Amino acid sequence: MRKIIIKRKRYLDKIAPFMDQAVIKVLVGQRRVGKSYLLLQIKDELEKRGIKRANIVYINKELHEFDCIANYVDLLSYIKKKISGRGKKYLLLDEVQDIDGFERALSSLQAKGGYDIYCTGSNADLLSGELATRLSGRYVEIRVYGLSYLEFLVFHKLSNSEDAFEKYVKYGGLPYLVNLQLDDEVVYDYLRSIYNTILFKDVVARYQVRNVAFLENLVEYLADNTGSLVSAKKISDFLKSQKIKISPNIVLNYLAYLTAAFFVFRVPRSEIVGKKLFEIGEKYYFEDLGLRHTLIGYKHPDINKVLENLVFLHLTILGYGVTVGKIGDKEVDFVCEKGGERLYVQVAYLITDQKTRDREFGNLLKIKDNYPKMVVSMDKMVGKQYQGIEQINIRNFLSEDGIAGWQKR
C-alpha cells in the first residue's frame, strides 16, 4: 500500500528560515509523530530548489540497509563515499541517536564547513551532554508533536464534527493512522506495536532497565492517573502496600526515562503568586492519547482526564510553557506562558449546576491579575462568560491557535 504523505506547514515554516544556514537542524519527538516524513519533505524541497541528488545524503537508521553505520567513524566514511558532487553538501540523518558517537561526526562536519545538516531523534537527551557542548550555539531544536486536532481533520479528510472529535479523542494523533482504517481492532493493534517499540527500544534498551515488569506497571499507573498529582514516594508507598519494594529513586529514574523518550510529559506545579516551582508532586500527560488507551482502554468515566490531556497537548503544540497552578489550597489546571504573556485555563467535562460552576470558575476568580482566563468544557454554548471569564467548547478551543482566536468565539 502506498503511504500517504501530507505536508505539515507548522513545522516546515519553522524549518524554512534555517535552511542553507550554518546551524544543525535537530527535529526531536516521540517515535512515529512524523519526523521521518518531515525529513523526506525537506529532501523534496532541496531537490525542487535544484540541489543535485549527488549532493544529498539521506540516512535512516531504522532501515536495514544502513546497519553498516554503527558509529561516527562509519558515518563519516559513508558520507565520504556517497558525496560526489561539487558545492554545498546536504546531510539528512533519521534517528541519529542510534549511531554511537554521532555528535563527533556532526561536530567534525560542522567545523569543516560546506554542509547543511538535518537530523531527527527520539530522545530528549539528544541535545544534552557532549552534543550541546560541542555544538553550542550551532544548532536549533524543533520539537515535533503528533497531529493537532485541525491536522487530524486535514489528514483524515474530516469536517469539524462531534464524530471527528470522538475519533481524535479515541485514536490519538499519530500521522500514520491516515493509512489505516479507523477501526478499534486495526488502530489499537498498530498502536500496541508502537508502544512496544518505544518501551523496549527507547527505554529498556537505551537505559538498560532491569525491572521491566515494574516499568510496564508504572506506565499503566500513569495512564490510570493522567492529570492526577504523582510523586515517587506516593508510588513507592503504594507498591509497599502491595508487598513490592521499589525505592523512590528508582521510580524517579524510570519516570525520567519515559519523559526522555517523549512518551509522557512531566508537568510541575507552580505558585501563581510568586511563580515558585514545587519540587514534589507533579502531573503526567501522554504525548498520544491513542497510546494511553492501548494500555487501559478508552473509558467514558475517564473523560475528565482525557479532556485535560487534550487541552494540555494543544497548549504545548502552540508553544506555551505549561505548569499546574496553585493558589492557596486551590488548583488551576494550567498556567500557560509564551512571549511574556500569561493565560489561565481550567478544564471541565460539563458544567451542569451551580456547584460545578462555582468550583471551576471560582479558582480562576481568585487570581487577581488581568491576564486572560478561560474554562474549557464540552458544553455546546458559544461565547458564554461568567463574571468576565470565557467559557469555550473544547472543539472550538482545539480549532484555534491562540488567545485572539479563542476570544473571538
Q: pLDDT for 100-113, tens place per residue?
A: 999 889 989 988 99
Please state, in angstroms and as integers, the Cα–Cα distance from residue 128 to each residue in 2, 93, 134, 306, following that order: 37, 18, 10, 32
What's the rounded mean pLDDT across residues 189-196?
Answer: 98
Are 240 and 333 in a shared domain? Answer: yes
Classify strands 341-347 and 373-377 as parallel, antiparallel or unpaired: parallel
Are 90 and 37 in a shared domain? Answer: yes
Enter the pTM of the model: 0.94
Are 205 and 354 in a shared domain? Answer: yes
Q: Which domain holds residue 70?
A: 9-143
Q: What are phi and psi of 289, to 5 degrees?
A: -70, -30
Listed residue (130, 131, 149, 151) closest to 140, CA to CA: 131
Residues 6+ apart with CB under 8 A from 257: 203, 206, 207, 209, 215
CA 101-105-109 angle, to 5 degrees, is 165
Are the beta carbons of 109 and 117 closer than 8 angstroms? yes
In a domain, 1, yes or no: no
- Residue 129 — very low, low, confident or very high, per pLDDT cuts 50/70/90? low
What's the rounded mean pLDDT across residues 187-193?
Answer: 98
> Could you count the other beta carbons within 10 Å of the beta carbon of residue 320?
20
- Residue 235 — very low, low, confident or very high, per pLDDT cuts 50/70/90? confident
- Residue 1 — very low, low, confident or very high, per pLDDT cuts 50/70/90? very low
Higher pLDDT, 329 or 191: 191
What pLDDT does residue 4 have?
A: 64
C-alpha cell belonging to residue 161: 464534527
Are the beta carbons of 15 and 117 closer than 8 angstroms? no
Are 251 and 268 in a shared domain? Answer: yes
* Residue 173 one-letter amino acid: G
Question: How many residues make up the chain in this entry?
Answer: 409
Residues 6+ apart with CB under 8 A from 115: 88, 89, 90, 91, 109
pLDDT above 70 (res 141): yes
What's the rounded mean pLDDT across residues 220-232?
Answer: 94
Q: How far apart are CA 271 and CA 252, in angstroms?
A: 23
Are the beta carbons of 343 and 354 closer than 8 angstroms? no
Classify strands 389-393 and 384-386 as parallel, antiparallel or unpaired: antiparallel
List residues bridging with 338 in a β-sheet: 341
Are the beta carbons of 300 and 200 closer than 8 angstroms? no
pLDDT above 80 (res 278): no
> Could you count the other beta carbons within 10 Å of the beta carbon of residue 301?
6
What pLDDT does residue 233 have?
A: 87
pLDDT above 80 (res 135): no
What pLDDT does residue 192 have?
A: 98
Residue 317 parent element (H or E): helix 303-317
In a domain, 3, yes or no: no
Listed residue (227, 394, 380) closest to 306, CA to CA: 227
Last residue of a domain, one of 110, 128, 143: 143
Last residue of a domain, one of 98, 121, 143: 143
Helix, coil or strand: residue 386: strand
What pLDDT does residue 119 have?
A: 95
CATH number of residue 54's parent domain: 3.40.50.300
Q: How confident is the model over 44-53, as pLDDT tens digits?
A: 999 999 999 8
Are the beta carbons of 72 and 98 closer than 8 angstroms? no
C-alpha cell belonging to residue 9: 506547514
What pLDDT does residue 213 have?
A: 92
What pLDDT does residue 16 have?
A: 95
Number of domains in the chain: 2
Please state, in angstroms and as integers, the Cα–Cα distance from residue 272 to each residue in 158, 282, 339, 365, following that order: 39, 15, 17, 13
Alpha helices (H) in 113-247, listed in sequence order: 130-134, 149-155, 162-171, 184-197, 206-207, 212-224, 232-241
Are 189 and 297 in a shared domain? Answer: yes
Are 402 and 275 in a shared domain? Answer: yes
What's the rounded mean pLDDT across residues 98-127?
Answer: 90
Helix, coil or strand: residue 227: coil
Q: From edge to edge, which strands make up the β-sheet containing 89-94?
A: 56-60, 89-94, 115-121, 24-28, 139-143
Q: How far apart are CA 194 and CA 196, in angstroms?
A: 5
C-alpha cell belonging to residue 131: 552534543
What pLDDT does residue 131 have?
A: 64
Task: Name the percent of the chain lying above pLDDT 70.
Answer: 95
Are 137 and 153 in a shared domain? Answer: no
What pLDDT does residue 347 have?
A: 97
DSSP annotation of 11: H
- Residue 407 — very low, low, confident or very high, per pLDDT cuts 50/70/90? low
What pLDDT does residue 76 have?
A: 96
Residue 58 parent element (H or E): strand 56-60
Q: How far apart are CA 181 and CA 386, in angstroms?
A: 42
Are 124 and 160 in a shared domain? Answer: no
pLDDT above 80 (res 409): no
Are 169 and 56 in a shared domain? Answer: no
Q: How confident is the model over 352-372, as pLDDT tens digits?
A: 889 989 999 999 999 999 999
Residues 6+ apart with CB under 8 A from 262: 28, 29, 30, 33, 122, 123, 124, 287
Are 54 and 157 in a shared domain? Answer: no
Q: What is the mean pLDDT of the chain?
A: 92
Are 158 and 107 in a shared domain? Answer: no
Are 136 and 231 in a shared domain? Answer: no
